[in-house]
Amino acid sequence: MALMNRQDYIESLRKLDIKVYMFGELVENPVDHPIIRPSINSVAMTYELASRQSGAQKRDGQKYRKDSERKG
């Protein structure tokens, strides 16, 4: 299973059936709420960075295998 990226993470939150209350009031759309969204964006960025790093490691691994095959 591949790592989620930023957008996958945000979409996964949208699919959750959760009730969020803030200051005693129900938040209808917590993912896009202006107070909550910066926190979501911070976590989403960690997914994006992990996704980028994973992709880079895969590319580096492929390059390494090709180099080692040449040396033989």
* DSSP class per residue in 52-64: HHHHHHHHHHHHH
How far CA 48 is from CA of 3, 19, 37, 52, 55, in Å, comes to 9, 26, 16, 6, 11
pLDDT for position 22: 97
For 43, residues 6+ apart whose C-beta sits below 8 A from its C-beta are: 9
Domain count, the chain: 1
- Give the domain CATH number at 23: 1.10.3140.10
- Over the stretch 5-58, which tens digit does the pLDDT of each residue have? 999 999 999 999 999 999 999 999 999 999 999 999 999 999 999 988 876 666
With respect to residue 43, please indicate whether it lies within any of the assigned structural domains.
yes
Range(s) of the domain holding residue 30: 6-71
- DSSP letter, residue 22: E
Whole-model pTM? 0.68
